[in-house]
C-alpha cells in the first residue's frame, strides 16, 4: 500500500510540475523550439529525481542499480545529444549558402526610389523622445494616472500615411489589475512622429488582452493555448485603419535543420479588445499591418547575406567581400509601409558606408542603394560638434533625399531628452553640416551651403514658387531678428521672410505684387528668394 501510494503521489507530482512549468514558461510543443527540448529535459529530470527518492526510501541499497533510473539518464543524455547535433547541423558553419539566400536583395537607384523629403511623413523623433511625450501625456490624465502606466512598447507604424508610434496602457500594479481588469485597459497612446502631437485615444470598450494581464488573458498565454505548436517572435501593438487595437504576432519559420534559418511564415492577429484571433500566411497578411518582420530579424538576415557570400570560414578569416549593417537603424514610412533603414559598411570597421538598405517589415523586401559616404556615427559626431557648447546629442539619422543629394537627417536633444534642434549632414561631404531650430530653417541653410560649395543640387526639387498680390503683411521680432509674414490673395500659405536676409521686404506693402521661392512648411513656409 505504501509503494502504491508513493507511486501515485509521484505521478501526481510530475503532472503538477509539468502543468505549472507549462503555464509559466509557455513552451511551444514543436521540435524546432529550444524551449520544448528544455521542457522535455525538465520532465525527464524530475521523473528521475522522484523515482530515485522513492527507491531510496523503500529499497535503500538498490536504487543506484535501478534500470528505470539508468534509462531515464540515457534519455536525458539523448535529449542533450540531439539538441547539440541539431544546433550544429542548423548553424551557418555547415549551411553558409542557405543562410546567405534567406533574403533577396535588389539593387535600386537612390534618386528614382527615394522621393524628395516630405517632412510630414518623416519621423523627426526617436523612441526615447516618444517615451517622454507619452509619459507627459499620461501624467496629465488625472483620472487614469493612479491606475495605469504607459507600456514601453511604442511600436512605430504608418497610420493614415503618417509615421506614428502607438503603445497601450498597462495596469500600474497587481492590485490595480485586480480592481480594473473587468473593464480592461481604457486607452492607448498615439504619437505623431512628424508633428510631436500626442493623443490619448480612449476606447468604448477596454483592452482585455495584453502583456500586463496575469492569468489566461495574458496575450502570450492566450496565444499559446490557441496555437500550442506555434513559435512566436516579438509581438507588437498596432492599430488598424479604424483605430482598433491589435496584437500582431509573427510566427517563426525555420528553414535550415532544427533551429536554423529563421524567417517568418505566418502572422496571427489578435483583437486586443475581444481576443478574437485570425491566422494568416505571411503572404496574405493585411496591408495595414506594418511589423510582421521584427527589425532585428531583418538586420540579421542582411548580415547573413553580406558576410556569407564566400562561405563561413571566409566570413571569419579572410573576410573578402564581406559587408555588414552598421550598429543602429531607424524607420521610414514609404508606400503605406514601414521600412527599416540601416547603413552598409565593411566588416573591417572603417568609418565609411558603401551604401544603405531599406527593408520592408511586412513583405521582407530588401532594397540596396549604393551611396558611398560617412557612416552614421561619423555624421552624428559631425552634427554634435556644431553644438558642442550646448552638449546636445544626435539621434540615429535617416538618409533622405534633399535636391537629389543623399542627406543624413537627425534631431539634436538636450540632456533631458527633449528635441532642441535639427541637423542635416551631406553623406559624401559630411563636413557640410546645417543646424536649425526648425526643419524648414535647417533645410534652407543646408541648400544654401551646398550651393555655396558648388554642389549641383536640384533646387527645383525642394523649393516652390508663388506669385501673387500681397493680401496681408505683418512684422514680428524673433530672438532679436525681424521677420515679415505675408499672405497672398487666394493662397493659404503663410510666408516667413527674415529681414536679415531679404532687407528689400521692408519696401513691400499690401496690394503689391511679389514672387517668392520657398520651402514648404507647417504652418510657415520659409522664403528662399524674392523676385
pLDDT of residue 292: 94
What is the pLDDT averaged over residues 483-487?
87
pLDDT of residue 401: 86
Percent of the chain with pLDDT over 70: 92
Q: Which of 34-43, 362-371, 428-437, 467-476 has the highest mean pLDDT?
A: 362-371
Full DSSP string of 219-287: HHHHHHHH-TT--B---EEEE-TT--EEEEEEEEEEEETTTEEEEEEEEEEEETTT--EEEEEGGG--T
What is the pLDDT averaged over residues 109-134?
83
What is the pLDDT averaged over residues 426-454?
81
What is the pLDDT averaged over residues 416-439?
87
Of the pLDDT bands very low, low, confident and very high (cuts 50, 70, 90), residue 459 is low
For the cut 90, the answer to whether the pLDDT of residue 146 exceeds it is no
Of the candidates 123, 190, 119, which has an alpha carbon nearest to the alpha carbon of residue 330? 123
Of 76-80, 140-144, 331-335, 487-491, the range with the lowest mean pLDDT is 140-144
CA dihedral 207, 210, 214, 219 (to 10 degrees): 130
pLDDT of residue 349: 65
Tens digit of pLDDT for each residue in 293-313? 999 999 999 999 999 988 998
Q: Which of 35-44, 142-151, 219-228, 460-469 has the highest mean pLDDT?
A: 219-228
pLDDT of residue 324: 93
Tens digit of pLDDT for each residue in 362-381? 999 999 999 888 888 889 99
Tens digit of pLDDT for each residue in 255-286? 999 999 999 999 999 999 999 999 999 999 99
Please identify which residue in the block is written with the cell numbers 520544448: 36
pTM for the full predicted model? 0.83
Of the candidates 167, 212, 217, which has an alpha carbon nearest to the alpha carbon of residue 190? 167
pLDDT of residue 6: 63
Of 136-150, 171-185, 359-373, the range with the lowest mean pLDDT is 136-150
pLDDT: is 105 or 405 the higher one?
A: 105
Work out the widest C-alpha separation in the chain, in whole angstroms: 111
109's grid cell: 537607384
For the cut 60, the answer to whether the pLDDT of residue 438 exceeds it is yes
End-to-end Cα spacing for the chain: 106
Task: State the number of CA atoms in the 13 A half-sphere of 12 facing the CB.
Answer: 6
| Helical H segments across 282-402, by residue range | 295-307, 312-316, 376-386
Of the candidates 120, 113, 129, 121, which has an alpha carbon nearest to the alpha carbon of residue 396? 129
Q: Which helix (H) or strand (E) holds 46?
A: helix 34-58
For the cut 60, the answer to whether the pLDDT of residue 58 exceeds it is no
pLDDT: is 312 or 57 the higher one?
A: 312
What is the rounded CA–CA span in Å between residue 302 and residue 297? Answer: 9
Please identify which residue in the block is written with the cell numbers 559598411: 345
Please identify which residue in the block is written with the cell numbers 531599406: 358
What is the pLDDT averaged over residues 59-74?
68
Cβ-contact 411, 418 below 8 angstroms: no
413 CB-near residues (< 8 Å, 6+ apart):
128, 129, 392, 393, 394, 395, 419, 420
527 CB-near residues (< 8 Å, 6+ apart):
495, 496, 497, 498, 502, 516, 517, 518
Please identify which residue in the block is written with the cell numbers 565609411: 352
Of the pLDDT bands very low, low, confident and very high (cuts 50, 70, 90), residue 423 is very high
Cα dihedral across residues 151, 245, 396, 367: positive or negative: positive
What is the pLDDT averaged over residues 165-176?
93
Please identify which residue in the block is written with the cell numbers 547603413: 343
Of 4-18, 26-40, 89-103, 166-180, the range with the lowest mean pLDDT is 4-18
Full DSSP string of 503-515: GGGGG--TT-EEE
pLDDT of residue 368: 95
Give the pairing type, strands 155-159 and 393-394. unpaired
pLDDT of residue 164: 92
pLDDT of residue 61: 54
pLDDT of residue 113: 81
115 CB-near residues (< 8 Å, 6+ apart):
401
pLDDT of residue 64: 57
Of 204-213, 440-449, 456-465, the range with the lowest mean pLDDT is 456-465
Please identify which residue in the block is written with the cell numbers 520592408: 360
pLDDT of residue 55: 63
503's grid cell: 532687407
239 CB-near residues (< 8 Å, 6+ apart):
157, 159, 166, 188, 190, 245, 246
Per the prediction, the chain carries an average pLDDT of: 86
Amino acid at each position: 500500500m505504501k509503494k502504491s501510494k508513493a507511486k501515485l503521489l509521484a505521478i501526481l507530482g510530475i503532472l503538477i510540475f509539468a502543468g505549472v512549468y507549462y503555464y509559466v514558461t509557455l513552451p511551444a510543443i514543436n521540435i524546432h523550439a529550444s524551449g520544448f527540448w528544455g521542457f522535455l529535459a525538465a520532465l525527464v529530470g524530475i521523473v528521475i529525481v522522484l523515482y530515485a527518492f522513492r527507491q531510496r526510501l523503500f529499497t535503500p541499497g538498490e536504487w543506484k542499480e535501478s534500470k528505470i533510473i539508468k534509462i531515464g539518464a540515457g534519455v536525458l543524455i539523448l535529449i542533450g545529444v540531439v539538441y547539440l547535433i541539431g544546433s550544429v547541423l542548423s548553424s551557418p558553419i555547415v549551411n553558409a549558402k542557405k543562410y546567405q539566400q534567406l533574403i533577396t536583395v535588389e539593387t535600386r537607384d537612390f534618386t528614382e526610389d527615394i522621393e524628395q523629403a516630405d517632412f510630414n511623413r518623416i519621423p523627426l523623433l526617436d523612441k526615447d523622445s516618444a517615451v517622454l511625450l507619452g509619459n507627459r501625456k499620461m501624467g496629465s490624465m488625472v483620472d487614469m494616472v493612479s491606475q495605469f502606466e504607459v507600456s514601453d512598447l511604442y511600436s512605430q507604424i504608418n497610420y493614415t500615411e503618417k509615421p506614428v508610434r502607438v503603445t497601450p496602457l498597462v495596469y500600474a500594479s497587481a492590485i490595480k489589475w485586480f480592481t480594473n481588469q473587468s473593464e480592461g485597459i481604457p486607452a492607448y497612446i498615439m504619437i505623431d512622429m512628424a508633428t510631436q502631437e500626442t493623443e490619448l485615444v480612449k476606447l468604448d470598450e477596454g483592452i482585455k488582452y495584453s502583456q500586463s494581464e496575469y492569468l489566461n488573458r495574458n496575450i502570450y498565454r492566450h496565444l499559446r493555448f490557441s496555437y500550442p505548436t506555434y513559435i512566436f517572435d516579438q509581438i507588437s501593438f498596432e492599430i488598424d485603419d479604424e483605430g482598433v487595437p491589435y496584437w500582431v504576432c509573427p510566427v517563426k519559420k525555420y528553414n535550415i535543420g532544427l533551429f536554423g534559418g529563421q524567417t517568418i511564415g505566418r502572422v496571427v492577429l489578435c483583437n486586443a479588445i475581444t481576443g478574437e484571433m485570425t491566422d494568416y500566411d505571411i503572404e496574405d497578411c493585411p496591408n495595414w499591418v506594418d511589423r510582421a518582420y521584427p527589425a532585428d530579424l531583418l538586420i540579421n538576415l542582411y548580415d547573413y547575406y553580406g558576410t556569407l557570400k564566400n562561405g563561413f570560414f571566409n566570413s571569419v578569416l579572410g573576410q573578402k567581400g564581406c559587408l555588414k549593417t552598421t550598429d543602429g537603424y531607424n524607420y521610414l514610412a514609404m508606400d503605406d509601409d514601414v521600412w527599416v533603414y540601416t547603413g552598409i559598411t565593411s566588416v573591417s570597421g572603417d568609418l565609411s558606408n558603401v551604401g544603405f538598405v531599406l527593408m520592408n517589415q511586412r513583405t521582407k523586401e530588401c532594397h540596396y542603394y549604393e551611396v558611398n559616404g560617412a557612416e552614421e556615427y561619423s555624421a552624428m559626431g559631425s552634427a554634435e560638434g556644431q553644438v558642442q557648447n550646448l552638449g546636445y546629442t544626435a539621434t540615429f539619422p535617416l538618409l533622405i533625399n534633399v535636391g537629389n543629394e543623399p542627406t543624413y537627417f537627425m534631431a539634436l536633444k538636450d540632456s533631458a531628452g527633449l528635441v532642441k534642434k535639427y541637423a542635416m549632414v551631406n553623406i559624401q561631404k559630411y563636413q557640410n553640416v546645417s543646424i536649425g531650430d526648425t526643419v524648414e530653417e535647417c533645410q534652407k541653410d543646408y541648400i544654401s551651403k551646398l550651393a555655396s560649395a558648388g554642389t549641383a543640387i536640384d533646387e527645383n526639387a525642394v523649393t516652390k514658387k508663388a506669385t501673387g498680390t500681397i493680401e496681408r503683411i505683418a512684422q514680428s521680432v524673433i530672438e532679436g531678428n525681424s521677420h515679415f509674414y505675408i499672405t497672398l490673395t487666394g493662397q493659404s500659405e503663410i510666408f516667413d521672410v527674415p529681414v536679415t536676409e531679404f532687407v528689400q521686404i521692408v519696401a513691400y506693402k499690401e496690394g503689391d505684387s511679389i514672387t517668392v521661392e520657398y520651402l514648404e512648411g507647417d504652418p510657415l513656409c520659409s522664403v528662399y528668394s524674392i523676385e
